[in-house]
């Protein structure tokens, strides 16, 4: 084991930074993680400290290195970076000093900016060129807000010393000692600044945003040679050869290699991604067209995506907000104590709705309460609320593609819950497949680095390994029960959308 070549993945997520090493067949050898602070300075505002993001990633790398033998450390041949997407960071080119907070993908403070762009008639062209919608979720309006509200940003801009990047750009910059300022096409496709078909920066839209082209990172394929980890850092000298947004990485890690194959990741949010092959598939129902990954020449695989802003946050709220559980896994033992929610529903729109409503003003609801309702019903309603939200995405994708997805591969921290996955199978009507290792995001970018380094010849060769230790959940309710539940859910969601009116 110690003598086989190993692949390093740096997985920078919303709530933690992780580092892991994998074998060339995708087996997890060791991992370490560091928690990351999330700040909510005002209603709908979500931000982080760019330096804490970088320092937490360093700590995870250092902790991982201590878990490995000298032989294993020497066997690491390639590194891949995967990251929370859309989160926006601006910094000075000369010093590397951040010019303000990192505005997290969930952040909704830019609603007015987006409304103004829509009023100016920009949305149709912006959607056509990028595959996205004008929404605070994406990076463009976050850049504009920082330009207008952070004096340090305006100062760096006036001096021609400003750099923009999403999190992979920020990490690559720091890992290479400022030698590389790059964004891969999967992450760039989430900024509202990349032409999805031509895979180039859109100069006219960067002008609208207010960011000069020279402040943008170099646009690169997801595979390539992106420098080496600098001296003085853990894993110094290891080449960085893959960059990939977290949801695309999870799709690759689940080996959804063929058109029509789908996965859902239950992390801070929940994200359904369907492989649509070499052609861009466009939806009229709020699903996003996005770039999945590229080969070393930049040839793209595209995906259709549904994005929900709250999944794991629901469990955190039950723990930290309501205090009805002391640890995340306790939600399962509570939910097991009741067969149904007895009419209780929890709509997890804490920071607004993503797909399909794209309404940053929407808010969460807990409804259907009676005097007999207790924490067990609320726990089960929380899990069902996540599953019902995802099932809406599944239905939209199936309608858009014209066929059933049949099977849904799942991963992410909340996917450890059997109750959640059984609810997902029941409500979606799909077979739900959970791998033995839920770290599909880190695995995906490690495999991509393995392809670039030549350690892996073809990802399809790994499919037999993907069947080991898999759990399968199949639907256990009938069609009429499913329809009644969905009907009640649609009414509850409607109320959450009307709450701010």
CA–CA gap between residue 314 and residue 382 (Å, rounded): 7
- pTM equals 0.89
Integer-rounded Cα Rg, in Å, for the chain is 22
Query: What confidence category does residue 161 fall into, taking pLDDT thresholds of 50, 70 and 90?
Result: very high
- Residue-wise pLDDT for 297-350, tens only, equals 778 999 999 989 888 888 888 898 889 888 888 899 898 999 888 889 999 988
Q: Is the pLDDT of residue 72 over 60?
A: yes
Q: Is the pLDDT of residue 465 over 80?
A: no
**200 and 261 in one domain?**
no
Residue 458 lies in a domain: no
- The candidate with the shortest Cα–Cα distance to 175, out of 91, 100, 253, 96, is 96
**308 and 173 in one domain?**
no
Q: What is the pLDDT of residue 354?
A: 86
**489 and 383 in one domain?**
yes
For residue 17, report the phi and psi dihedrals to the nearest 5 degrees. Answer: -115, 130
Residue 357 lies in a domain: yes
Q: What is the pLDDT of residue 500?
A: 62
Residue 61 lies in a domain: yes
Over range 162-189, report the average pLDDT. 96
Cβ atoms 292, 278 nearer than 8 A: no
**259 and 235 in one domain?**
no
Cβ atoms 216, 287 nearer than 8 A: no
User: Which two three-digit tokens encode residue 362?
Assistant: 């929407």
User: Which two three-digit tokens encode residue 6?
Assistant: 């190993």
Among the three residues 246, 272, 293, which one is the final residue of a domain in this structure?
A: 246
**342 and 267 in one domain?**
yes
What's the number of CA atoms in the CB half-sphere (13 Å) around residue 276?
Answer: 23
Q: What is the pLDDT of residue 66?
A: 95
**187 and 285 in one domain?**
no
CATH code for position 416:
3.30.420.40
Q: Which secondary-structure segment (H or E) carries 106?
A: none
Q: Is the pLDDT of residue 86 over 70?
A: yes
Residue 478 lies in a domain: yes
**Could you write out the three-class secondary structure of 195-206?**
CCCCCCECHHHH
Over range 52-67, report the average pLDDT. 96
Residue 454: exposure state from Cβ atoms within 10 A (0-12, 13-18, ≥19): exposed
Mean pLDDT of all residues belonging to the chain: 92
Over range 248-275, report the average pLDDT. 92
Q: Could you give the percent of the chain with pLDDT greater than 90?
A: 71
Q: What is the pLDDT of residue 473?
A: 94
Among the three residues 205, 229, 246, which one is the final residue of a domain in this structure?
A: 246
Q: Where are the beta strands (DSSP E) in 349-473?
A: 365-367, 407-411, 431-434, 471-473
CA–CA gap between residue 3 and residue 299 (Å, rounded): 34
CA–CA gap between residue 446 and residue 456 (Å, rounded): 10
**Angle, vertex CA 192, rays to CA 190 and CA 193, nearest 5:** 105
Q: Would you give the distance in Å from CA 373 to the centre of its chain?
A: 34
Q: What is the pLDDT of residue 389?
A: 93
The per-type count for the chain, helices as H runs and strands as E runs, is: 16, 20
**192 and 51 in one domain?**
yes
Over range 14-21, report the average pLDDT. 94
Over range 40-48, report the average pLDDT. 91
- The candidate with the shortest Cα–Cα distance to 338, out of 383, 302, 393, is 383
Among the three residues 185, 220, 246, which one is the final residue of a domain in this structure?
A: 246
User: Which two three-digit tokens encode residue 74?
Assistant: 């020497």
Residue 320 lies in a domain: yes
Cβ atoms 407, 430 nearer than 8 A: yes
Over range 456-475, report the average pLDDT. 82
**271 and 225 in one domain?**
no
**161 and 263 in one domain?**
no
Residue 447 lies in a domain: no
**340 and 216 in one domain?**
no
Cβ atoms 226, 67 nearer than 8 A: no
Q: Is the pLDDT of residue 352 over 90?
A: no
CA–CA gap between residue 284 and residue 259 (Å, rounded): 19
Q: Which domain holds residue 41?
A: 6-246
CA–CA gap between residue 236 and residue 83 (Å, rounded): 20
Q: What is the pLDDT of residue 214?
A: 94
If one compares 2 and 96, the residue with the highest pLDDT of the two is: 96
Over range 23-48, report the average pLDDT. 92
Report how many domains make up the chain: 2
Q: Which secondary-structure segment (H or E) carries 76?
A: strand 76-83
Segment among 196-205, 269-278, 469-478, 492-501 with least mean pLDDT: 492-501
**494 and 404 in one domain?**
yes
**307 and 211 in one domain?**
no
Q: What is the pLDDT of residue 501?
A: 52
Over range 465-490, report the average pLDDT. 85
Segment among 68-72, 252-256, 497-501 with least mean pLDDT: 497-501
Residue 453 lies in a domain: no
Q: What is the pLDDT of residue 1?
A: 45
Q: What is the pLDDT of residue 111?
A: 92
Residue 456: exposure state from Cβ atoms within 10 A (0-12, 13-18, ≥19): buried
Cβ atoms 59, 17 nearer than 8 A: yes
The DSSP result for 135-155, as a single string, is -TTSHHHHHHHHHHH-HHHHH
CA–CA gap between residue 474 and residue 76 (Å, rounded): 39
What's the number of CA atoms in the CB half-sphere (13 Å) around residue 79?
Answer: 25
Q: What is the pLDDT of residue 296?
A: 75
Residue 442 lies in a domain: no
């Amino acid at each position: 084991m110690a003598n086989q070549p190993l692949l390093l993945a740096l997985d920078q997520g919303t709530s933690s930074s992780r580092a892991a090493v994998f074998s060339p067949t995708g087996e997890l050898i060791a991992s370490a993680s560091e928690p990351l602070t999330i700040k909510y300075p005002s209603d709908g505002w979500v931000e982080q400290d760019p330096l804490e993001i970088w320092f937490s990633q360093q700590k995870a790398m250092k902790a991982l290195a201590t878990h490995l033998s000298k032989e294993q450390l020497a066997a690491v041949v390639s590194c891949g970076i995967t990251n929370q997407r859309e989160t926006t960071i601006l910094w000075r080119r000369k010093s590397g000093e951040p010019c303000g907070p990192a505005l997290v993908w969930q952040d909704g403070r830019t609603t007015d900016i987006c409304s103004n762009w829509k009023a100016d008639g920009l949305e149709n062209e912006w959607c056509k060129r990028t595959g996205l919608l004008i929404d605070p979720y994406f990076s463009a309006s976050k850049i504009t807000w920082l330009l207008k509200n952070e004096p340090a940003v305006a100062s760096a801009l006036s001096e021609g010393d400003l750099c923009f990047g999403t999190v992979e750009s920020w990490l690559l910059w720091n890992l290479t000692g400022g030698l590389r300022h790059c964004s891969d096409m999967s992450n760039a496709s989430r900024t509202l600044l990349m032409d999805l078909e031509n895979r180039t920066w859109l100069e006219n839209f960067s002008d609208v945003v207010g960011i000069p082209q020279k402040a943008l990172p170099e646009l690169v394929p997801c595979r390539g040679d992106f420098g080496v980890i600098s001296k003085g850092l853990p894993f110094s000298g290891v080449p960085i050869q893959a960059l990939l947004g977290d949801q695309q990485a999870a799709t690759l890690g689940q080996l959804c290699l063929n058109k029509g194959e789908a996965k859902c990741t239950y992390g801070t949010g929940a994200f359904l991604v369907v492989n649509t092959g070499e052609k861009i598939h466009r939806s009229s129902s709020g699903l996003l067209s996005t770039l999945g990954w590229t080969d070393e020449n930049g040839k793209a695989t595209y995906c259709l995506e549904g994005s929900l802003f709250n999944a794991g946050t629901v469990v955190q709220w039950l723990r930290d907000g309501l205090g009805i559980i002391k640890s995340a896994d306790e939600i399962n033992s509570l939910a097991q104590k009741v067969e149904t929610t007895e009419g209780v529903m929890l709509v997890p729109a804490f920071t607004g709705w993503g797909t399909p409503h794209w309404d940053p003003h929407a808010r969460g609801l807990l409804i259907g309460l009676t005097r007999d309702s207790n924490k067990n019903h609320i726990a089960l309603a929380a899990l069902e609320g996540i599953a019902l939200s995802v099932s809406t995405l599944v239905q939209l994708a199936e309608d858009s593609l014209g066929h059933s997805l049949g099977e849904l591969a799942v991963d992410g921290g909340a996917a450890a819950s059997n109750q959640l996955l059984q609810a997902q199978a029941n409500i979606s009507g799909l077979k739900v497949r959970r791998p033995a290792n839920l770290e599909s995001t880190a695995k995906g970018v490690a495999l991509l680095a393995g392809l670039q380094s030549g350690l892996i010849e073809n990802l399809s060769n790994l499919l037999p390994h993907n069947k080991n230790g898999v759990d399968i959940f199949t639907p256990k309710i009938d069609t009429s029960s499913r329809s009644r539940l969905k009907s009640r859910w649609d009414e509850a969601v409607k109320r959450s959308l009307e709450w701010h009116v």
